[in-house]
Amino acid sequence: MALRIPQSIGLSSMLKEGYKVSQGVDEAVVRNIQAINELSQITRTSLGPNGKNKMVINHLEKLFVTSDAATIVRELEVIHPAAKIVVLASNQQESESGDATNFVVTFAGQLLQKAEYLLKMGLKPSEINQGYDIAGKKALALFEDISNEAVTDAFSKDQITRAVKTSIGSKQYGYEDLLAPLVAEAALQVMPENPSNFNVDSIRVVKILGGSINDTKVVKGMVFGRQPEGSTTKATDAKVAVFSCPLDISQTETKGTVLIHNADEMLNFSKGEEAQIEKIFKEIAESGAKVIVTGAGVGDMALHFLNRMGLLVIKVLSKFDLRRLCRVIGATPLARLGKPMAEELGYCDVVETVEIGSDRCTVFRQDKESTRTSTIVIRGGTTNMLDDVERAIDDGVNTVKALVKDGRFLPGAGATEIELAKRLMEFGEKTPGLNQYAIKKFAEAFEVIPITLAENAGMDSTEVLSKLYTAHQRGEVSAGVDIESDNNGIIDSTKAGIVDSYPIKYNALKLATDAVITVLSVDQIIMSKPAGGPKLPPPQQHIDD
């Protein structure tokens, strides 16, 4: 049989029906740039202490009111392939450094906007890429010169507080003086002898509704927002048995019928069940356990025997919290009810019930170095407020993680960006060939950070920018945007304590540049037809209804 040759020759005949193909500068590159610009405009207005909040409602109808770019980008569910590259870079920054995600998206968007201008001027994407690559490497090298101070002692509360304050202030402006010392205190409680082994997971956050944010405090140990089930509320030097199953008699799989003829038989029947439960808990008590933790429910009869034997029992319903508790106390979670072996038991110095606000909580406190943990208990009026404060504290803790590895600082408030823009502009002037145009545009892109800080604070960004350049030409490397001044002023950011972490900023710049170069090196987009039948139309409902 002869092979049928399609009538039209081209890409459409080569691929399956339903494929979409975009190619060339206008169709692929410029469209990608426009999509990423839209994304960066969303996060750009949330940059800095005066950044606006976004209200995002995800597919599960959960409401997020936040200015944290990592949360916004994660919940937006971006599907545009090019914008997804920037989202992935932002997610990578969040997982590696835990902060400066907004810088990645905003700076990448601005770089691509400058690239669009160069494309219209006649430069090819490969030429822009070459220039951006040179400028990116030069900018990272310049960080060394701009860095002006460092954390000298990882066990100094004042130095850690200073480092964390800017990070928290960018999310919870006005509360940084309250929250930064708390993060520093929590970090110092769990700081190992070798600070570079600091583990972010050692600091937990517990949110308790009620009170005000000023009632937020640090508790040494692990805190669970519930009190013990029984009457025993404190145990010291306690061995702890952890069960992931319910503390109750197990139900049989098959149902049976028991005929009871008189009252004696009735009493004997229930006595057998009681004796079985008592035997189990007696064995647990004899193993030396003073505290029992369960990941499920506690039966009434089981509770009766636990109270009689003076065992403290608490429910921990989150499997992640149960896992973390096991790691802290060195226990093995048991899936069956019975006597635990000596190596399966954990140990905790103090397990006690404390009152935080009007809520009674249970604290597992360790005083040994190897398994210490501390908890920041956040108080607040609404769940949204609690969630947002948690995100700010999370950024603060990640800043501590960065500074124990590399304690250097860069001037904040947009000072680093202006200094980089100034020096890269001078470097671009000396670079021969077409690369200089891309290098100069890369330098200009840095201006987006101080401009955005000024705009979000309601200042005249043009005037602020000219004042910043004037100060930096005079050699004032730390001159940044003073968002608190009414007369479009500038501030010495290092003296004011506004500093950025060197490794976080370094990583953010690297990821943003890589994402932009990846997007610009795309010249064709080939999309297959999505699987499945036609999609159902969404329900027609007005958002205000």
Name the 3-class secondary structure at 338. coil
- Three-class SS string for 370-429? CCCCEEEEEEECCHHHHHHHHHHHHHHHHHHHHHHHCCEEEECCCHHHHHHHHHHHHHHH
pLDDT in the model for residue 540: 63
- Closest by CA to 315, choosing from 255, 248, 374, is 248
**Residues 6 or more apart from 469 whose CB is under 8 A from it?**
418, 422
Domains and CATH numbers, the chain: 19-149+411-527 (1.10.560.10), 153-216+377-404 (3.30.260.10), 222-371 (3.50.7.10)
pLDDT in the model for residue 467: 84
The residue ranges of the chain whose pLDDT is under 50 are none
Q: Are 202 and 372 in contact (CB under 8 A)?
A: yes
pLDDT in the model for residue 64: 83
**Residues 6 or more apart from 244 whose CB is under 8 A from it?**
294, 295, 296, 319, 322, 333, 334, 335
State the Cα–Cα distance between residues 94 and 106, nearest whole angstrom. 15
pLDDT in the model for residue 83: 86
pLDDT in the model for residue 541: 60
State the Cα–Cα distance between residues 479 and 475, nearest whole angstrom. 9
Average pLDDT of the residues of the chain = 80
pLDDT in the model for residue 459: 82
pLDDT in the model for residue 7: 55
State the Cα–Cα distance between residues 426 and 442, nearest whole angstrom. 12
Write the DSSP assignment of 207-237 as a string of letters. EEEBS-GGG-EEEESEEESS--SSS--EEEE
* Amino acid of residue 223: V
State the Cα–Cα distance between residues 182 and 392, nearest whole angstrom. 12
State the Cα–Cα distance between residues 161 and 397, nearest whole angstrom. 11
